[in-house]
Copies of this chain bind each other. A is one copy, B any other.
Amino acid sequence: MNQDFRESSQLTLFLTRWLILFVCLCFCRNLGKSGLRVSCLGLGTWVTFGGQITDEVAEQLMTIAYESGVNLFDTAEVYAGGRWACIFLNLCLHFLRRSSLVITTKLYWGGKAETERGLSRKHIIEGLKGSLQRMQLEYVDVVFANRPDSNTPMEDPFPCTCCIVRAMTYVINQGMAMYWGTSRWTAMEIMEAYSVARQFNLIPPVCEQAEYHLFQREKVEVQLPELYHKIGVGAMTWSPLACGIITGKYENGIPESSRASMKSYQWLKEKIVSEDGRKQQAKLKELNHIAEKLGCTLPQLAVAWCLRNEGVSSVLLGTSNPEQLTENLGAIQVLPKMTSHVVSEIDHILGNRPYSKRDYRS
């Protein structure tokens, strides 16, 4: 079947390549003030390209994405041990020119040795070199300096900002990356990186990857816009469906097949069954009515809602099956329906609109 799929896909590709590129043009956005154009939807590989799915499915996801005009593929050395993500990206390169793609990677968790993680100069250089080798790429477009989230049990050997900026400048000057960005950093940390870069004549970051969805808004809606205006840093967001919470599949408890029932996602389960979690499910029911009115699904509404924020350069989708991906990509068609009326209706249901910058001053 893979063989068949490949052949038909090759035919399709020949025909749709130009169409893709045209569509792509239509919904590309600027990545911060870098001048780089990225599709407003990107394919994240978070949880996706791991043990959960087969190679065939992964390749299918890849194909669906770029046939829909996605030019942004976000990988990471840690995802699935860096193996599958790389293989598929490698395959993908046989179909499209490298220059038409924006491939990013995230550094933090590499190998198992102590020296193979963190943001030491050693790991930034070795980790990126290793990732490039595995992906058989000469360079990535953006390399992200990740930070472990608060669920990470280990101590954080976070080096001085100056060291990170210097190492990032090095890999860019070596041609191993075009730009560098941050992931999960506070606005202040990004500002510090910018400050250090200015002071020591190094290269500042162009983009922050942040979590953004209906239930988590402040950083992307309040802090990053300020950063954008001050220093031109753009926003790439992930988890538009809040780790699957917004798909509605947890409406009646946690199904056995879902991610939240897995052992390592205990925290997710706890979040869902908490009081806050139940309140969220109630709000999702209301949002579902809006989705029905607009003639789309709840996930599509959630993704389109992210896209309505023009400060977001790209929303990274991280689905594990082709149908879901196709559904999510359909959010593009919902975007024009996100009128100010609809948006304020959603705001009213959510009740979590963050204070604007103006109020923040007081």
Which of A's residues lie within 8 Å of B, judged by CB?
21, 24-25, 28, 30, 33-39, 71, 97-102, 110-116, 118-123, 125-127, 130, 141, 147, 149-150, 157-160, 163-164, 166, 170, 173-175, 178-179, 184-188, 191-192, 194-195, 198-201, 203, 211, 216, 219, 223, 226-227, 230, 232, 357-362
A97 and B111 contact, CB distance less than 8 A: yes
* B residues near A98, Cβ cutoff 8 Å: 126
Contacts of A99 in B (CB 8 A): 110-111, 113, 115-116, 122-123, 126-127, 130
A112 near B21: Cβ-Cβ < 8 Å:
yes
Contact A111:B100 (CB < 8 A) given known A166-B203, A191-B191, A361-B150: yes
Instruction: Judge whether B185 and A188 touch: CB under 8 Å.
Output: no
A305 to chain B, nearest CB (A): 19
Nearest to A219 among chain B residues (CB) is B360
Beta-carbon contact of A113 and B141 below 8 Å = no
Q: How far is the CA of A69 from the CA of B147 in the complex (A)?
A: 26
B-chain residues with CB within 8 Å of residue A211 when the two chains form the complex: 362
Instruction: Tell me the minimal C-beta distance from A223 to chain B in angstroms.
Output: 7
Report which of B36, B178, B362 forms a contact with A184, defined as CB distance below 8 A. Answer: B362
Give chain B nearest CB distance to A110 CB in angstroms.
7
Known: A97-B111, A194-B195. 18 other contacts (CB 8 A): A33-B163, A35-B119, A35-B157, A36-B120, A36-B122, A71-B113, A99-B116, A99-B127, A99-B130, A100-B112, A100-B115, A100-B116, A121-B178, A160-B232, A173-B173, A186-B357, A191-B195, A219-B360
* Interface contact A114-B34, CB-CB below 8 Å: no
Q: How many angstroms between the C-alpha atoms of A33 and B163 in the bound complex?
A: 9
Given A113-B21, A166-B203, A184 and B361 touching (CB < 8 A)?
A: yes
Q: How close is A98's CB to chain B, nearest CB, in angstroms?
A: 8
Please state if B34 and A358 are interface contacts (CB–CB under 8 Å).
no
- Nearest CB of chain B from residue A116's CB, rounded to whole Å: 5
What residues on B are CB-neighbors of A223 within 8 Å? Answer: 188
Residues in chain B near residue A226, CB distance under 8 A:
186, 188
Per the bound structure, the CA–CA distance linking A123 and B222 in Å amounts to 30
Nearest CB in chain B: distance from A243 CB, A? 11
Q: Which chain B residues lie closer than 8 Å to A71 at the CB level?
A: 113-115
Is A120 a contact of B198 with CB atoms below 8 Å? Answer: no
- Chosen A-B contacts, 28 in total, with CB atoms closer than 8 Å, are A24-B113, A30-B157, A33-B160, A33-B163, A34-B120, A34-B159, A34-B160, A35-B160, A35-B164, A36-B159, A71-B113, A71-B114, A71-B115, A99-B111, A99-B126, A100-B113, A122-B178, A149-B362, A150-B359, A184-B361, A186-B226, A188-B191, A188-B227, A188-B230, A191-B195, A194-B195, A198-B199, A211-B362
Q: How far is the CB of A31 from chain B (nearest CB, A)?
A: 8
Which of B101, B150, B170, B199 is the one whose CB lies under 8 Å from A199? B199
Q: How close is A209's CB to chain B, nearest CB, in angstroms?
A: 11
Quick one: which of B38, B185, B201 contacts A201, CB cutoff 8 A? B201
